[in-house]
Amino acid sequence: MTATTDRPPPTIDVVGLTKTYQMGDVKVEALRGVTFTIEPGEMVAIMGPSGSGKSTAMNLLGCLDSPTEGSYRLDGEDVEGLSEDALADIRLRKIGFVFQSFNLLPRMTAREQVELPLMYAGARKRRDRALEALATVGLADRVDHTPVELSGGQQQRVAMARALVTRPQLLLADEPTGNLDTASADEIMDAIEQLNIERGITTILVTHEMEVALRARRIIRFRDGLVEKDEVMT
């Protein structure tokens, strides 16, 4: 008993997760009952053809959307039935996002981009923390550059710094290398892997590329809204 209570709760614990969209007259079942757990510090790749429900799953795991049915406990906290603002607060405190299309704000310098979540959190010493996060992703010399002045790989690293600066438990990367050339993609994946190992940030990444997926130690394959295969790499 003592051993189990001391153990931290899984970062992600989903049971029977279902998401149904109403597209005009047609009901689309994007997820049809998905169950899995991800322990703290794991690095998991989610793969699957388009339409398999992996993006929907990412949105639900990222608290950007609410499931139609099923339960989702994030870091032991039940997310079900929370208000939009409460979900925003969870995103702010616990989750960092890296998107395929970077999703940086135009006309803002790298430092300002990274300060943004700290601003919404009402944190102090934002400047110092933003500069530190940028240094972690190797952009200490680009802090005053705006997105148009940065390469794709550099932009994605700014996005990573923005995701990390609030010290989240969970990093969600949705095809983080999809818009990058091979060299930049390797750099980004190195950075993600390094953070996972050094800081123990639970990392979930969606990808098409086997090469990228193999960086993870576990691959969950989706097909037709269900988990097709959940395998641990050796």
Partner 1 sequence: MTAVDGLRVAFRALAANKLRTALTLLGMVIGVAAVITLMSIGAGVQTSIEERIRQAGTNLLSVSPGASSNRFGGFRTRSGGGGGGVQTLTAQDADAIAEANIPGITSIYASRSFNGSFVSADGAVQASVQGVNEVYPAVRNVEVGTGSFFSADDVDRASRVVVIGDTLATDLFPNGDAVGETVRLNTQPFTIVGVLASDGGSSFQSNDESAFVPLPTLTSRLNPSKTSAGDDVVSSIVVQLVDESDATVAGVTQEIENLLLSRHDSEEQDFSVGSQADQIETISEVTDTMTLFLGAVAGISLLVGGIGIMNIMLVSVTERTREIGIRKAIGAKRRDIMSQFMIEAVAVSMGGGLAGVLIGVGISLGLNELGAGAEQPTGGGGARGNPFAGGLVTTITAEPIILALVVSVVIGLVFGIYPASRASRLAPIEALRYE
What are the angstrom distances between the C-alpha of 202 and each of 45, 49, 59, 168? 11, 24, 16, 9
Task: Determine the Cα–Cα distance for residues 15 and 34; give it in Å rounded to an integer.
Answer: 6
Site string for partner 1, 172-211 (x = CB under 8 A): ----------------------------------------
**Which of 9, 36, 64, 186 is close enough to bind partner 1 by CB under 8 A?**
64
Question: With respect to partner 1, which residue has the nearer C-beta, 59 or 202?
Answer: 59
Q: Is 99 among the residues that bind partner 1 (CB under 8 A)?
A: yes
Three-state DSSP state, 2? helix
**Which of 18, 121, 199, 208 is close enough to bind partner 1 by CB under 8 A?**
121
Task: Determine the Cα–Cα distance for residues 115 and 104; give it in Å rounded to an integer.
Answer: 12
Question: With respect to partner 1, which residue has the nearer C-beta, 7 or 125?
Answer: 125
Task: Determine the Cα–Cα distance for residues 81 and 69; give it in Å rounded to an integer.
Answer: 11
Q: Is 166 among the residues that bind partner 1 (CB under 8 A)?
A: yes
Question: With respect to partner 1, which residue has the nearer C-beta, 45 or 63?
Answer: 63
Using the contact rule CB under 8 A, the part of the chain among 40-48, 102-110, 137-145, 188-196 near partner 1 is: 102-110
Contacts of 56 (CB under 8 A, 6+ apart): 19, 30, 31, 65, 225
Site string for partner 1, 125-144 (x = CB under 8 A): --------------------
Give yes or no for a contact between 57 and 17, defined as CB atoms under 8 angstroms apart. Answer: yes
The amino acid at residue 54 is K
Q: How far is the CB of 85 from partner 1 (least distance, A)?
A: 5
Give yes or no for a contact between 78 and 14, defined as CB atoms under 8 angstroms apart. Answer: no
Using the contact rule CB under 8 A, the part of the chain among 5-13, 31-39, 80-88, 223-231 near partner 1 is: 80-88
Pairing of strands 218-223, 95-98: unpaired
Q: Which residue ranges make up the site for partner 1 (CB under 8 A)?
A: 59, 62, 64-65, 84-85, 88-89, 91-93, 97, 99, 103-108, 116-117, 119-122, 162, 166
